[in-house]
Amino acid sequence: AQSVTQPDIHITVSEGASLELRCNYSYGATPYLFWYVQSPGQGLQLLLKYFSGDTLVQGIKGFEAEFKRSQSSFNLRKPSVHWSDAAEYFCAVGALGGFQKLVFGTGTRLLVSP
């Protein structure tokens, strides 16, 4: 069965510190992977996506993610967190093309301390 696991429900990081959010997936075909961010009261905004090529992908707002097929992981990273990064982050996996049914993880809420 297709699934996405985000093992950390909450993470607290100091402003200026580095960040890594974990995502593991189970998918029977070649995965198409996404990270979305949701600020309070807002919809989901796409941070980055991966479906082929360089396994290190760059996204908006200084985020990057690395696809590791051997570990079935797609972890999100940022070298220096800003207070405005406090939000909920969702990893998702789906098929490339077609109607693109996405399976979402349960999300990781990032808190940024001064």
User: Rule CB under 8 A: which residues touch another protein?
Assistant: 4, 9, 32, 34, 36, 41-46, 49, 51, 90, 92, 96-102, 104-107
- Sorted by sequence, the CB contacts under 8 Å of residue 31 that are 6+ apart come out as 25, 51, 74, 93, 94
Residue 107 C-beta: closest distance to another protein, Å: 6
SS3 content of the chain, % helix, strand, coil (to 5): 10, 50, 40
Which residue, 13 or 91, is less far from another protein as judged by CB?
91
The smaller minimum CB distance to another protein, of residues 15 and 102, is found at 102
Residue 86: helix, strand or coil by DSSP?
coil
| Least CB distance to another protein at residue 96 (A) | 5
